[in-house]
Amino acid sequence: SHPQKKSAPQSSASCKDCRENINKVLELYSGAWKKQEASYQTFRSQLSTKCHGFEKATITQTNTPVGTKLVYDGDRKRTLQVNLEIFSTFYKGHPFPNKTWHTCAVVGNGGILANSSCGKMIDSAEFVIRCNLPPLSNGYEKHVGIKTDLVTANPSILLEKFGGLMGRRRMFVESLRSYSHSLLLLPAFSFAHNTPVSLRAFYTLEDFKSPIRPIFFNPGYLKSLALFWRSQGLRTVRLSTGIIMTSLALELCDNVQLYGFWPFDVHPHSFQTLTNHYYDDRKTKTKFHAMPDEFNHLLRLHTQGVLKLHLGECK
């Protein structure tokens, strides 16, 4: 079923707006995709000039010395002065090599990934980025792959699933085994309440000698990224993890491929009902995130040949 020849049937979509939106998306998405080197270079240099993701996306002992006053990006009234103890948890060296990766896969958690057979294609990327500690086993491998070079973790997961790491912590360390020696990127300085639990995650991984390498988002980078996307016309309270990781990938990789980005509840080709995530149906907090608006920006970048958005099955 080629998307060009079909439009969403009147009865299968859950709301009129979604149906219209999906038809518009399919119109823009159809046709062969080709990377447009000039558009990619322009967008990338805008991003790196305004956000400096390569040097500033994460906190390191080099870019954040003792005495630095960190401003929480989610609550600009709160600050934290870096003392020796906190400094000792900062990443030593530079997390990214001084060359761009050939291909990066950014894997969102959208239900569109279920039954996509995209696992092999995702795993063939040189660098694979995942969001919010998603499950990779129990049959998901075939559709989402297993390779992980960087995975983010929202502290809310640590609170809900692992008791905030206040009690037994082995389960947390074991649950991270599926990500081998990946970087674990935590927004430790986005809100003040994120800091203690993120530090406990760091201490836990160190104490259990886990190969996982914890690292913190730099709140200054997240702030500049929010301003960048606002200047692009995106209005949202908080950027989603997916668009943050896509932005970083555009600075670090020559070819950026997106999977699992589809914030609608109907499949674009089969028109079947979708769950919000490929592994559960927990809804996005629309109070904070504007995923459909974000998606429109990602779709624009796809049509401009800046990145490639995968919506179909991978054969």
Catalytic residues: 289
With CB under 6 A as the contact rule, the residue among 64, 89, 109, 257 that binds ligand CDP is 109
Options 54-62, 205-213, 256-264, 300-308: segment touching ligand CDP (CB under 6 A): 256-264
Report which of 51, 5, 20 is spatially closest to residue 230, judged by C-alpha positions.
51
Residues 281-300 binding ligand CDP (CB under 6 A) are: 284, 289, 291
Rounded Cα gap, residues 309 and 307, in angstroms = 7
Cα–Cα–Cα angle for 132, 299, 121, nearest 5°?
A: 60
Q: Residue 194 or 241: which CB sits closer to ligand CDP?
A: 241
Work out whether 190 is an interface residue with ligand CDP (CB under 6 A): no
Question: How near is the Cβ of 130 to ligand CDP at its closest, in Å?
Answer: 8
Using Cβ positions, the residue closest to ligand CDP within the complex turns out to be 242
Answer for which of 74, 220, 263, 268 binds ligand CDP (CB under 6 A) is: 263
276 counts as binding ligand CDP under rule CB under 6 A: yes
Residue (of 120, 149, 121) closest to 253 by Cα position: 149
Q: Which of 136, 261, 301, 309 binds ligand CDP (CB under 6 A)?
A: 261
The site that binds ligand CDP (CB under 6 A) totals a number of residues, namely: 20
For the bound state, the minimum distance from the C-beta of residue 8 to ligand CDP, rounded and expressed in Å, comes to 17
User: Residue 3 to residues 27, 268, 281: CA-CA distances in angstroms?
Assistant: 8, 8, 26
Q: How far is 143 from 118, CA to CA, in rounded Å?
A: 5
Choose between 89 and 155: whose C-beta lies nearer to ligand CDP. Answer: 155
Tokens of 158: 């640590």
Nearest residue (CB) to ligand CDP, 135 versus 305: 135
Based on the shown chain and the rule CB under 6 A, indicate whether residue 132 belongs to the binding site for ligand CDP.
Answer: yes
Which CB sits closer to ligand CDP, 43 or 295?
295
Q: Segment contacting ligand CDP (CB under 6 A): 92-100, 142-150, 199-207, 240-248? A: 240-248
- Interface with ligand CDP (CB under 6 A), residue from 241, 251, 267, 310: 241
- Angstrom distance (rounded) from CA 37 to CA 47: 15
User: Which positions from 49 to 88 touch ligand CDP by CB under 6 A, shown as an x/- string?
Assistant: ----------------------------------------
Q: What is the pairing mode between strands 183-186 and 213-216? A: parallel
Q: Which of 8, 70, 131, 150 binds ligand CDP (CB under 6 A)?
A: 131
Q: Which of 111/268 has CB closer to ligand CDP?
A: 111
Please list, in sequence order, all residues whose beta carbon lies within 8 angstroms of the beta carbon of residue 124, skipping any fewer than 6 positions away: 103
Question: According to CB under 6 A, which one of 3, 53, 74, 108 is a site residue for ligand CDP?
Answer: 108
Residues that bind ligand CDP (CB under 6 A): 108-111, 131-132, 154, 240-243, 260-263, 276-277, 284, 289, 291
